[in-house]
Amino acid sequence: MRISKLHVVAVLMLGLLLGLAGCSKLPVETVTAMQTAMDGAKAAGAETYARDALNQAMETKAQADAEIETQNGKFALMRSYKKATEMLTLATQQFEQANQAAVEGKERARVAANAAVEAATAALAATNEFLAKAPRGKNTKAELEAMQQELVVLQGALDEAVAGVAAEDYINAKAKADVVTQKAAEIQADIQNAMDKAKR
């Protein structure tokens, strides 16, 4: 049985139309996977600990969104979401990489914050001990008492740093602890100067 040329053309046209129809819909699972990966990256702290990686993924997502809008504006049979799908898949991978980078960055920040708190605790203890041993004469009493008040303030800052670590706010906790260490060293120098002045 012969197949007419008209029949062959009809079959080919049907196949073409089905192919176009297949490309004219954006796969829901692709969008869902990208959204899940993006939410996961943000939940992992990528905005804080992997900002560059997150921004790259967000840029790819924005390009995909623009491509989707372009295709949405076309006649149904002329739409093709192939490029948008590829870009969404890439964005998904980038969000997953940002997630991993955030986990690693957060762990580094945790270690650094704990080390900073330990250093600040030691520095403050040493300064308090140094101040306690400093002789108080009429020329140094007021200065040393002022320094004692500064140390009380620094203890409050250190307590905030410890609380920050507990709340996983590692970056701010480290910053506060570093300030305590720096100020404690300055106060030690001031105590030494006051003691030298008393001797003179």
- Alpha-carbon distance of 119 to 183, in angstroms, equals 12
- Predicted confidence (pLDDT) per residue in 5-18, tens digit: 555 444 445 444 44
* Helix ranges restricted to H, 24-81: 28-43, 46-49, 51-72
Burial class (CB in 10 A: 0-12, 13-18, 19+), 6: exposed
pTM, rounded to two decimals = 0.76
pLDDT band at 22 (very low <50, low <70, confident <90, very high): very low
Q: What is the mean pLDDT of residues 117-134?
A: 94
How does DSSP classify residue 2? P
Q: Which helix (H) or strand (E) holds 88?
A: helix 82-133
Virtual CA dihedral for 40, 46, 48, 49, nearest 10 degrees?
A: 130
- Predicted confidence (pLDDT) per residue in 140-184, tens digit: 678 888 999 999 999 999 999 999 999 999 999 999 999 999 999
